[in-house]
Amino acid sequence: MTLPKLKKCKTIDEYRKYFKDRYCNTSRSVTTFDGITVVFKPNQFKHSFYESSEKWKRDKKKFSLKRAERIDWIDYALKNADASLYIGYNKKSKIYNKKRRVCLKNKDYVVVIEFKDNRRATFITAFTADKKQTLNSIKKSPTWNNKNGR
């Protein structure tokens, strides 16, 4: 599987429409390499393609072209059996969440899904882990496998 090219749209609304058309239509879902059906909700657009305007705030007010251009990388990462998989971490409760799976592909591209049951999950977010601290935290997480996850 070849890494998709960066998606070039002219406006934020074009990226939003593309996200909805490609991922959120009821007839569309992404099936992971291990058979998990991942559904996408339109309200995840902001969480996935916006970032905090200041270093330590979590306000998600600034549109991220870097994230948006990688929109086609989401299903690419989820469908790749050679991606690294980790159990997600809940920052609020400070514990690992076995219902969340973090997919790490191409050294720093992250896709997070949350399981609804053994065969279905919901897309949470996707981003490039361009901070060394973020990448190190992910790599220190327990490795995902079907016995310790879900």
Choose the most confident range, by mean pLDDT, from 14-23, 46-55, 126-135: 14-23
Provide the b/e sequence for 49-86 (b: ≥16 CB within 10 Å). Answer: bbbeeeeeeeeeeebbeebbbbbebbbbbbbbeebbbb
pLDDT at position 92, please?
Answer: 83
In the prediction, which pLDDT does 51 show?
85
Higher pLDDT, 82 or 131: 82
Q: Is the pLDDT of residue 148 over 70?
A: no
Higher pLDDT: 52 or 54? It is 52
Least confident of 52-61, 68-77, 88-97, 128-137: 52-61
* Burial degree of 32 (CB within 10 A; 0-12, 13-18, 19+): buried
Whole-prediction pTM = 0.91
**Residue 121 · residue 40 · CB < 8 Å:** no
What's the Cα-to-Cα distance from 36 to each of 22, 24, 82, 134, rounded to whole Å? 18, 16, 16, 26
- For residues 7 and 39, give the distance between their C-alpha atoms in angstroms, rounded to a whole number: 21
